[in-house]
């Protein structure tokens, strides 16, 4: 495809293991276009480029990213730390062939800047782009709050890093990345729709959903495929004396959506399947219940919602720091299992507590989606920093 006159080409690298990486890449592309910056952006699905090297697909016919998504949908995350080590070993074993395949791709597409929004493969991405076009900048935007385990996001190599927390910046410095190549943003990437105005009358909007106008409202969200844990959460809160109502977002899990709709409960509930209106439903809520994913936490906080999340042996290793971050910033409650959901909600609903937690959430001003395009502009204006 011929390059547009006067525009620098940026390749945004994602894959579909979980929805966060594609969502971040798409959000950045939209914001770059909205700001009218002189860039031509393209999205590159890393899985498609490296399909021929996918060991799991050769053995079973199933892509690694599809297996990962099935694990999330099914809740098969116990032992994920060990699986992560195996995956990192496979990535290292296939590093050479990966570099060859990626170098061919860069030569055919000739981007001025490559931006990775994926973990695991940043060594291969950086090395291949450096071979194809020496001196052109490579950047990694962490879509997690921290680099865990080591070499998940951050490698010791000449590149730029964009980090959303002070802790991630410290990790970058510990890997010998200097200030000129490490950028700190005010948080994680959120879709621009999270910055649109809230409904002027949330109470009236709750009534439209069959809810009471002023009762404390929880939004329950476990990613794009939901979680069967949502049934347990409903059961436990339904059997408690707590007065609240709930909005369940089930994503693409049609069986879960059906099961929740068939439940008989004393609580008022509203159930949604897949929707792009997450900001709307969050604006009608008072607090969030879900998994400790960086995207979910950041979305909730952007709508001033304190979070209730869990951290246990089933928690993905890259998400375990998030629970610590929530506690350190006093923006929610961390539980060991959903057996603790009733006391956690009870704590939030104590006199003054919900207001206090919402105030802490409101104090976090995440503008990363607006900051990062300007970081790309600075990188392309001063490429000598990458050398």
Average pLDDT for 15-23: 78
Model confidence band, residue 3 (pLDDT cutoffs 50, 70, 90): very low
What is the spatial distance between Cα 141 and Cα 313, in angstroms, rounded to a whole number?
27
Q: Which string of DSSP letters, residue by residue, matches 220-283?
A: EE-STT--THHHHHHHHHHTS----EEEEE-TT-HHHHHHHHT---SS-EEEE-S-S-HHHHHH
H-helix or E-strand spanning residue 30? helix 20-35
Which position has the higher pLDDT, 379 or 74? 379
H-helix or E-strand spanning residue 184? strand 182-184
Cis peptide before 149 (omega within 30 of 0): yes
Taking the complete model, does pTM exceed 0.85, yes or no?
yes
> Hey, what are 55's tokens?
């060991």
User: Residue 81's pLDDT is what?
Assistant: 54
What 3-state DSSP class applies to 160? strand
User: Residue 223's pLDDT is what?
Assistant: 87
User: Residue 85's pLDDT is what?
Assistant: 63
User: Residue 225's pLDDT is what?
Assistant: 83
User: Residue 313's pLDDT is what?
Assistant: 79
User: Residue 64's pLDDT is what?
Assistant: 56
What is the spatial distance between Cα 182 and Cα 147, in angstroms, rounded to a whole number?
14
> Residue 132 pLDDT > 90, yes or no?
yes
DSSP state of 202: H
> Residue 72 pLDDT > 70, yes or no?
no
User: Residue 19's pLDDT is what?
Assistant: 61
User: Residue 4's pLDDT is what?
Assistant: 45
Are the C-beta atoms of residues 146 and 171 closer than 8 Å to each other?
yes
Query: Number of H helices and number of E strands within the chain?
Result: 17, 12
Which position has the higher pLDDT, 386 or 161? 161
> Residue 95 pLDDT > 70, yes or no?
yes
Average pLDDT for 7-15: 95
Q: Which string of DSSP letters, residue by residue, matches 38-105?
A: SEEEEEEEHHHHTGGG-HHHHHHS--HHHHHHHHHHHT--TTHHHHHHHHHHHHHHTHHHHHHHHHHH
Give φ, ψ of 140 to 5 degrees.
-120, 125
> Residue 44 pLDDT > 70, yes or no?
yes
Are the C-beta atoms of residues 113 and 139 closer than 8 Å to each other?
yes
pLDDT digits (tens, 9 = 90+) for 320-371: 899 999 999 999 999 999 999 999 999 999 999 999 999 999 999 999 999 9
> Residue 87 pLDDT > 70, yes or no?
no
Average pLDDT for 40-57: 80
What is the spatial distance between Cα 59 and Cα 195, in angstroms, rounded to a whole number?
44
Distances (CA, A) of 243 to 130, 206, 217, 246, 276: 59, 16, 9, 10, 28
What is the spatial distance between Cα 99 and Cα 92, in angstroms, rounded to a whole number?
11
Model confidence band, residue 57 (pLDDT cutoffs 50, 70, 90): low
User: Residue 158's pLDDT is what?
Assistant: 95
Q: In the predicted model, what is the mean pLDDT of the chain? A: 89
pLDDT digits (tens, 9 = 90+) for 296-305: 999 999 999 9
What is the spatial distance between Cα 24 and Cα 13, in angstroms, rounded to a whole number?
10
pLDDT digits (tens, 9 = 90+) for 243-295: 999 999 999 899 999 999 999 999 999 999 999 999 999 999 999 999 999 99
Model confidence band, residue 216 (pLDDT cutoffs 50, 70, 90): very high
> Residue 56 pLDDT > 50, yes or no?
no
Are the C-beta atoms of residues 124 and 98 closer than 8 Å to each other?
yes
Model confidence band, residue 63 (pLDDT cutoffs 50, 70, 90): low
Model confidence band, residue 387 (pLDDT cutoffs 50, 70, 90): very low
pLDDT digits (tens, 9 = 90+) for 151-191: 889 999 999 999 999 999 999 999 999 989 999 999 999 99
Which position has the higher pLDDT, 249 or 89? 249
Which position has the higher pLDDT, 371 or 83? 371
> Residue 242 pLDDT > 90, yes or no?
yes
User: Residue 54's pLDDT is what?
Assistant: 59
Query: Sign of the CA dihedral 372, 373, 377, 380?
Result: positive
Average pLDDT for 229-234: 96
DSSP state of 9: E
User: Residue 179's pLDDT is what?
Assistant: 86
């Amino acid at each position: 495809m011929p390059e547009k006159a006067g525009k620098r080409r940026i390749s945004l690298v994602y894959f579909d293991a979980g929805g966060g990486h594609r969502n971040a890449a798409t959000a950045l592309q939209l914001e770059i276009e909205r700001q009218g910056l002189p860039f031509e952006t393209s999205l590159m699905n890393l899985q498609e480029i490296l399909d021929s090297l996918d060991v799991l697909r050769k053995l079973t016919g199933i892509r690694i990213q599809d297996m990962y998504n099935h694990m999330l949908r099914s809740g098969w995350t116990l032992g994920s730390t060990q699986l992560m080590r195996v995956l990192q070993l496979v990535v290292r074993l296939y590093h050479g062939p990966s570099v060859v395949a990626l170098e061919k791709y860069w030569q055919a597409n000739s981007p001025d800047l490559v931006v990775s929004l994926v973990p695991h493969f940043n060594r291969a991405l950086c090395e291949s782009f450096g071979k194809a076009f020496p001196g052109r900048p490579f950047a990694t935007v962490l879509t997690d709050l921290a680099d865990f385990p080591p070499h998940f996001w951050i490698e010791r190599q000449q590149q730029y890093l964009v980090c959303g927390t002070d802790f991630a910046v410290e990790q970058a410095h510990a890997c010998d990345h200097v200030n000129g190549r490490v950028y700190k943003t005010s948080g994680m990437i959120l879709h621009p729709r999270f910055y649109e105005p809230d409904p002027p009358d949330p109470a009236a909007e709750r009534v439209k959903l069959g809810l009471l106008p002023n009762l404390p409202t929880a939004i329950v969200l476990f990613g794009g495929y939901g979680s069967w844990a949502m049934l347990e959460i409903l059961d436990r809160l339904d059997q408690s004396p707590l007065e609240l109502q709930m909005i369940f977002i089930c994503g693409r899990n049609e069986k879960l959506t059906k099961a929740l709709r068939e439940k008989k409960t004393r609580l008022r509930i509203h159930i949604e399947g897949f929707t792009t209106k997450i900001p709307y439903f969050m604006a009608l809520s008072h607090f969030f219940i879900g998994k400790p994913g960086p995207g979910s936490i950041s979305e909730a906080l952007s709508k001033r919602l304190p979070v209730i999340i869990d951290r246990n042996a089933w928690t993905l290793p890259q998400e375990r720091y998030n629970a610590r971050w929530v506690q350190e910033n006093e923006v929610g409650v961390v539980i060991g299992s959903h057996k603790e959901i009733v006391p956690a909600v009870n704590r939030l609903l104590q006199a003054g507590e919900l207001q206090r937690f919402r105030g802490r959430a409101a104090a976090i001003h995440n503008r990363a989606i607006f900051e990062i395009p300007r970081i790309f502009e600075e990188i392309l204006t001063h490429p000598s920093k990458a050398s």
